[in-house]
Amino acid sequence: MQRKIVPDIVQPTDVASVTAEDTVLAAATIMRDRKIAALVVVNSAGKLSGIITERDVVFQGTAGGLDPKTTKVAEIMTPNPDTLAPGDSASDALELMQTRNYRHLPVVVDGICIAVVSVRDLFKSVKESTMHSKKAFAKPKLSSLVTVTAHSWQSKIAGTGAFHLSEKSRNSL
């Protein structure tokens, strides 16, 4: 089953945002205070117009020689970013992140950002899914092995099967 971005990976939330006219220092302060690595940039109508990440602040802002107190978010943000819809799959998000080298993607409905999904969110989801799969395919019960063994021998006797029960499986009976 394909996991959907909303509700399987992230939930709709009050997304932290700035405007293009805010300073880089203001954006960095919000990121620090909220312990997040990306902010959406919204226009006066509250619709998504860009995204600014901690990497933008460091690489284009500070290390780029810009003064965070006077530099506007518009100067270093990514305008019109790629987005996801709530119904997109986790694999779609991972593919987009991998091919475009993103770490964060806004989840948008009618131009309004309802969540931001990170590569960390997706990793956590994949890890949980893997753990669930491992439990589903855990060591079979003795009764299951006996059934498989019986079916195997019936098939061999009938001449219709080439099923081979490994030495390890025979020893576990």
pLDDT digits (tens, 9 = 90+) for 30-53: 999 999 999 999 999 999 999 999
Asked whether the whole model's pTM tops 0.75, one would answer no
Q: Which of 55, 96, 97 has its CA nearest to residue 76?
A: 55
CA distance 76 to 50: 10
Q: What is the average pLDDT score of the chain?
A: 84
Q: What is the pLDDT of residues 74-117, one digit of tens each?
A: 999 999 999 999 999 998 999 999 999 999 999 999 999 999 99
Q: Are 42 and 113 in contact (CB under 8 A)?
A: yes
Domain range annotation of the chain: 5-128
CB-CB contact of 48 with 113 (8 Å): yes
Whether 96 and 76 have beta carbons less than 8 Å apart is answered as no
Say how far apart CA 160 and CA 119 lie, in whole Å.
49
User: In the prediction, which pLDDT does 132 show?
Assistant: 61
Domain spanning 5-128: CATH superfamily: CBS-domain (3.10.580.10)
